[in-house]
Amino acid sequence: MKANFLQEKYLLFKAKNKDPEAYSKVYDLYADRIYRFVFFKINNQEEAQDLTSEVFLKTWQYITSGKDILNLNAYLYKVARNLVIDHYRKASQKEVSIDALAGGIESLAETADLKVEETKALEDKLQMEKIEVKLMGLKDEYREVIILRYVDDLSIGEIAEIVVKKKGAVRVILFRALNALKELMGEEGNK
């Protein structure tokens, strides 16, 4: 569920006045999307949960310090993005094995409480797993805009604000990212 502009402003106002109930509503509105965004970037369920909690803690601290946030959605994604960057700076980058990736996909499916009831649903799931594996083969910038646009359903303007680029640049990156993903998917079909 996406918060509308007025609801977001009202919750921000109440949270700024240190209303924990209002901030818990903010958490309820955004936690799943922020978790999914972080998970797709680091591919570790526990670390994604920790970083998601840290996103909301940092945002709470920022809000209650009296600072203004113009777009809460974009701000949360920016904080999440920065924490992921910090996470990779602190830890040496590890190669993700296909087995580990498959385990991450399974845990994501469990977290999302997905139920596969028909053969079509199973085929769709297998196709998604292939796409998720291929996403990991894309450069980070491409993977990020695809996730923000098609998984988190953000607008080009919101993505531009998150990645600190102009809308036109985001459109170009998204176009290139989709072409790169199609190429990777096509390579599999040729095998």
Does residue 153 sit within a domain?
no
* Structure confidence at residue 125 (pLDDT): 57
Does residue 46 sit within a domain?
yes
Does residue 143 sit within a domain?
no
Quote the domain boundaries for residue 51.
1-91
How many CB atoms sit inside 10 A of residue 35's CB?
A: 20
Q: Name the residue with tokens 């701000």.
A: 75
Does residue 105 sit within a domain?
no
Does residue 134 sit within a domain?
no
Which region, left, alpha or beta, applies to residue 153 given φ > 0 means left and ψ of -120 to 50 means alpha?
left
Radius of gyration from C-alpha coordinates of the chain: 18
Does residue 139 sit within a domain?
no
Residues in contact with 38: Cβ distance below 8 Å, sequence separation at least 6, in sequence order: 48, 51, 52, 55, 80, 83, 84
Angle at 70 between CA 64 and CA 74, to 5 degrees: 95
Residues in contact with 69: Cβ distance below 8 Å, sequence separation at least 6, in sequence order: 12, 59, 62, 63, 75
* Structure confidence at residue 138 (pLDDT): 83
Angle at 160 between CA 158 and CA 161, to 5 degrees: 65
Does residue 76 sit within a domain?
yes
What is the C-alpha separation between 103 and 127, in angstroms, rounded? Answer: 16
CATH number, domain with residue 13: 1.10.1740.10
What is the C-alpha separation between 28 and 24, in angstroms, rounded? Answer: 6
What is the C-alpha separation between 94 and 98, in angstroms, rounded? Answer: 13
* Structure confidence at residue 107 (pLDDT): 54
pLDDT along the chain (191 residues), means of 10: 69 78 84 89 87 90 84 88 86 51 53 46 60 77 86 87 91 90 72 50
pTM above 0.85, yes or no: no
> Based on the structure, what is the number of domains in the chain?
1
Does residue 59 sit within a domain?
yes
SS (H, E, C) 74-115: HHHHHHHHHHHHHHHHHCCCCCCCHHHHHHHHHHHHHHCCCC
